[in-house]
């Protein structure tokens, strides 16, 4: 029989199914061993959910690493030590994103299911862990094979919203929202730890995704300049961005500072570290404002609609802030709006980078075909009938 060769998408789906089976088996075995041998202090509901979420997150990381590095041609020493070292760093960084997303999302779902089923849910923990681990293993393997900036950006709001919701639902202070979000994390309880951990992981993820976004902008600019030099008579050639190095350095610094601000808000609780907490919490809106207003200069390849939307987001935040100063709104609402607007803007920004990447790949194919056709024409013998062919 003739052997059919599978394409990239079919290989990803097939590998995802294998990952589903292996992760589901590992989840069931791991959860059964925990329920059988864990001491009584670790059998309480929240710790049981934490262990289940940890098992699912571990399956997600292993599945992702298998898919991301299985067909990599960068893990050889042909191009030196720097390339495999960079690939390893990228894999570890992306694993942090997937581990955080999976853990917090799974914990939030377990809490919601427990609210509906009550004590009956305890008897299904192994089955639920196996199901979650299998589904997550399948999704992460396929996403690793088809990795793009759109996939990365779409992950960010899931675990941020999940972590904040879990913290708000499990806190012992039912009136925290009358003050601000800092009050939700200004304790040593499980809810406060969950909230602060979510913010710190969100900051780490912002920095990681920013690294990939900036790297794509640098790659695109280099190719645009290369094509500009080779095709000076092409009217559709890429244009050079003046002072590109300075712009990309400022953009990288602002995105990194915004991620560090998220980390600082979670790392420095208000009560023992009120100065550092306020610097991070109140400094983040200023960094956002600079990013929104300077976007046309920082990343001119971004769509003008995104730039206008950034200005509108800045005006909306300013309006809500002024409304709060007049006593018609709460700081919690302003913080929630600013945080969601920043995450929304960051998702749109990352998807724009992904669109630029897709256009760059298409242009590379076009330029490769053009170069190949040019070489063929040069190798062809000159026509005796029409010398201009």
Question: Which segment of 3-17, 88-102, 213-227 scores lowest on mean pLDDT?
Answer: 3-17
Q: How far apart are CA 75 and CA 199, in angstroms?
A: 33
pLDDT category of residue 81 using cuts at 50, 70 and 90? low
Average pLDDT estimate for 36-65:
87
pLDDT at residue number 385? 37
Average pLDDT estimate for 90-96:
77
Q: Are 27 and 130 in contact (CB under 8 A)?
A: yes
Q: Which residue has the higher pLDDT, 357 or 304?
A: 304
Average pLDDT estimate for 310-337:
79
Q: Which residue has the higher pLDDT, 190 or 206?
A: 206
pLDDT category of residue 119 using cuts at 50, 70 and 90? low
Q: What is the largest CA-CA distance in the chain?
A: 93
Residue whose C-alpha is closest to residue 281's, from 311, 258, 251, 253: 258
pLDDT at residue number 40? 81
Question: Which segment of 81-90, 109-118, 337-346 scores lowest on mean pLDDT?
Answer: 81-90
pLDDT at residue number 254? 92
The two tokens of residue 67 are 């898919």
pLDDT at residue number 238? 46
| Block residue for tokens 């960084």 | 93
pLDDT digits (tens, 9 = 90+) for 252-298: 999 999 889 888 888 888 777 888 888 888 788 888 888 888 888 88
Q: How far apart are CA 357 and CA 148, in angstroms?
A: 9
pLDDT digits (tens, 9 = 90+) for 213-245: 888 788 878 777 776 655 555 444 445 678 888
Residue whose C-alpha is closest to residue 314's, from 283, 336, 345: 345
Most confident region among 42-56, 97-111, 114-128 by mean pLDDT: 42-56
How buried is 99 (Cβ within 10 angstroms: 0-12 exposed, 13-18 middle, 19+ buried)? Answer: buried
Q: Is the pLDDT of residue 337 over 70?
A: yes
Q: Is the pLDDT of residue 380 over 90?
A: no
Q: Which residues of 315-333 are buried (b: 16+ CB within 10 A; e: fewer)?
A: eebeebbeebeeeebebbe
Q: Is the pLDDT of residue 175 over 80?
A: no
Average pLDDT estimate for 150-164:
65
Q: How far apart are CA 117 and CA 46, in angstroms?
A: 15
Could you give the residue ranges of the DSSP H alpha helices within 42-146? 45-69, 82-117, 125-145
Q: Is the pLDDT of residue 364 over 80?
A: no
The two tokens of residue 17 are 């199914």
Q: Is the pLDDT of residue 78 over 80?
A: no
- The whole-angstrom distance between residue 320's C-alpha and the CA centroid of its chain comes to 28
Residue whose C-alpha is closest to residue 126's, from 32, 37, 58: 32
- The whole-angstrom distance between residue 48's C-alpha and the CA centroid of its chain comes to 27
Q: Are 197 and 256 in contact (CB under 8 A)?
A: no
From residue 388, how far is each of 344, 375, 384 by CA, in Å? 55, 16, 10
Average pLDDT estimate for 339-368:
76
């Amino acid at each position: 029989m003739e052997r059919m060769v599978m394409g990239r998408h079919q290989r990803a789906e097939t590998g995802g199914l294998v990952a589903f089976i292996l992760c589901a088996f590992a989840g069931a075995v791991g959860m059964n061993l925990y329920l059988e041998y864990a001491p009584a202090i670790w059998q309480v509901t929240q710790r049981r959910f934490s262990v289940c979420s940890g098992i699912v997150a571990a399956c997600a990381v292993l599945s992702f690493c298998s898919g991301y590095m299985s067909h990599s041609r960068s893990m050889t020493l042909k191009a030196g030590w720097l390339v495999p070292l960079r690939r390893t760093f990228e894999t570890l960084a992306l694993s942090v994103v997937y581990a955080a997303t999976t853990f917090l999302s799974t914990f939030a779902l377990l809490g919601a299911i427990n609210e509906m089923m009550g004590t009956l849910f305890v008897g299904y923990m192994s089955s639920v862990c196996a199901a979650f681990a299998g589904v997550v293993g399948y999704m992460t393997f396929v996403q690793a094979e088809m990795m793009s900036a759109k996939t990365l950006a779409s992950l960010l709001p899931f675990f941020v919203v999940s972590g904040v919701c879990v913290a708000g639902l499990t806190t012992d202070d039912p009136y925290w929202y009358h003050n601000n979000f800092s009050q939700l994390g200004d304790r040593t309880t499980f809810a406060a730890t969950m909230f602060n951990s979510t913010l710190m992981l969100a900051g780490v993820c912002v920095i990681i995704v920013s690294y990939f976004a900036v790297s794509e902008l640098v790659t695109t600019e280099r190719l645009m300049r290369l094509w500009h030099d080779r095709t000076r008579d092409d009217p559709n050639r890429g244009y050079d961005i003046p002072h590109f190095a300075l712009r990309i350095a400022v953009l990288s610094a602002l995105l990194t500072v915004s991620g560090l601000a998220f980390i600082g808000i979670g790392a420095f609780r208000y009560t023992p570290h009120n100065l550092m907490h306020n610097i991070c919490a109140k400094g983040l809106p200023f960094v956002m404002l600079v990013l929104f207003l300077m976007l046309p200069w920082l990343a001119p390849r971004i769509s003008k609609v995104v730039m206008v939307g950034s200005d509108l987001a800045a005006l909306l935040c300013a309006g809500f802030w002024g409304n709060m100063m007049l006593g018609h709104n709460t700081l919690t609402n302003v913080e929630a709006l600013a945080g969601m607007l920043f995450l929304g803007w960051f998702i749109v920004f990352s998807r724009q980078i992904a669109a630029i990447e897709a256009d760059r790949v298409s242009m590379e194919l076009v330029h490769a075909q053009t170069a190949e056709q040019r070489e063929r024409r040069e190798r062809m013998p000159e026509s005796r009938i029409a010398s201009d062919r």
